[in-house]
Amino acid sequence: MKHLNGDQKWAVLLCQLGEATPELTRDHFVDFCVNAGTGGLNDYWQSISHGNITLNGSAVYGWYQAPLSVADFMNLSRADKISRIAQLFSENESELDFSDYIGILVVTDGDYDKGSVQGGSLDLTFNGTTKPYGVVLAPADESHSFYAHEMGHAFGLGHSFDDSGIELDQGGWKSLPGEYLDKWDIMSAENVWSSVQPSSPDFGQSGPGLNAFNMRDQGWLDSARVVEIKGGETSVRLRSAAPYCPASRRRQLSPPWPARYRSGLPSW
Ligand SMILES: [Zn+2]
């Protein structure tokens, strides 16, 4: 089983393509993507991985005005958009050494295209060295939930499903049967229970966490708390995920996430 752990360092590249100065500052993205204790993505992944990973060591570069028209940018595939912007930063930021990072998050001033790529990662070459990078392309004003979902792809997670067989109409294409229908799992975003945190409203909707399947896939489930039912009768005593939820029947069955990422769930 894979066990993703340790500091997952991202290079966050703030790229301006339009003419208006972006509203959200570099400091905003340092709080959103790097700093802990802000309600940003570093807190999220530390909590949701049960302490297995952090985003410590990530860094934000830009804003940088790309010498590229919006039209030319839009004509590129998503992989080429990310690759082109990363190369431009590599040439213009002498401090930036991509070999320090596992992921590249390209933030744009407008909504030109957004998401990860098939499989979540791209082989990119900087200074003659090629290695796979988790990659995300995101507009600056997208939500915490959106960024977390796309980073999930970069960490190797696919979409989550329910067993309804329903295909969601995505405006021009249909999802696979059941895809995006686990509202309890970030890998079904943007069709999930999420909420705006009063302490960090600038980050937009956040949560939920990961379902047990995805946590296990990442090697983040505490095996001491996993019960396998192999037929016959098994008696299981449930306990609440204290200190986040008081004991009640409903809450004893809650997902093991901190309260802030559960607060969008129904009846919470
Ligand atoms: Zn996705």
Q: Is residue 235 part of a domain?
A: no
* 117, 167, 228, 232 from 154: Cα distances, Å: 8, 24, 29, 40
202 occurs within a structural domain: yes
**Residue 68 covered by a domain:** yes
Report d(CA 177, CA 68) in Å as an integer.
Answer: 39
Residue 253 domain flag: no
- Residue-wise pLDDT tens digits, 53-85: 999 999 999 999 999 999 999 999 999 999 999
The pLDDT value given to residue 250: 40
Task: Calculate how far, in angstroms, residue 30's C-alpha sits from the geometric centre of ligand 1.
Answer: 24
* Any domain includes 173: yes
pLDDT at res. 75: 97
Q: Is the pLDDT of residue 245 over 70?
A: no
* Ligand 1: centre distance to CA 67 (Å): 29
Q: How far is the CA of 207 from the centre of ligand 1 (A)?
A: 14
Which domain covers residue 64, as residue numbers? Answer: 6-217
Which pLDDT belongs to residue 89?
97
How far apart are alpha carbons 252 and 266 in whole angstroms? Answer: 15
224 assigned to some structural domain: no
Contacts 24+ apart (CB under 8 A), 79-88: 79/117, 79/122, 79/135, 81/106, 81/112, 81/113, 81/137, 82/106, 82/117, 82/122, 82/135, 82/137, 83/122, 83/124, 85/13, 85/15, 86/11, 86/13, 86/124, 86/126, 87/126, 88/15, 88/64
Distance in Å, CA 259 to ligand 1 centroid:
24
Convert the pLDDT of each residue in 231-241 to its tens digit. 888 888 766 44
Q: How far is the CA of 117 from the centre of ligand 1 (A)?
A: 9
The answer as to whether 76 is a domain residue is yes
User: Residue by residue, what is the 3-state secondary structure of the chain?
Assistant: CCCCCEECCEEEEEEECCCCCCCCCHHHHHHHHCCCCCCCHHHHHHHHCCCCEECCCCEEEEEEECCCCHHHHHCCCHHHHHHHHHHHHHHHCCCCCHHHCCEEEEEECCCCCCECCCCCEEEEEECCEEEEEEEEEEECCCCHHHHHHHHHHHCCCCCCECCCCCCCECCCCECCCCECCCCCCHHHCCCCCCEECCCCHHHCEECCCCCHHHHHHCCCCCHHHCCCCCCCCCCCCCCCCCCCCCCCHHHHCCCCCCHHHHCCCCCC
Give the tens place of pLDDT for each residue, 147-198: 999 999 999 999 999 888 999 988 888 999 999 999 989 999 988 989 999 8
Measured in angstroms, how far is the CA atom of residue 227 from the centroid of ligand 1? 29
Residue 260 lies in a domain: no
Identify the band that residue 8 occupies on the pLDDT scale cut at 50, 70 and 90.
Answer: very high
Q: Number of structural domains, the chain?
A: 1
Q: What CATH code is carried by the domain that includes residue 107? A: 3.40.390
CA 253–ligand 1 middle distance (angstroms): 27
Task: Tell me what the mean pLDDT of segment 190-209 comes to.
Answer: 91
Cα(122) to centroid(ligand 1), Å: 16
pTM, to two decimals: 0.89
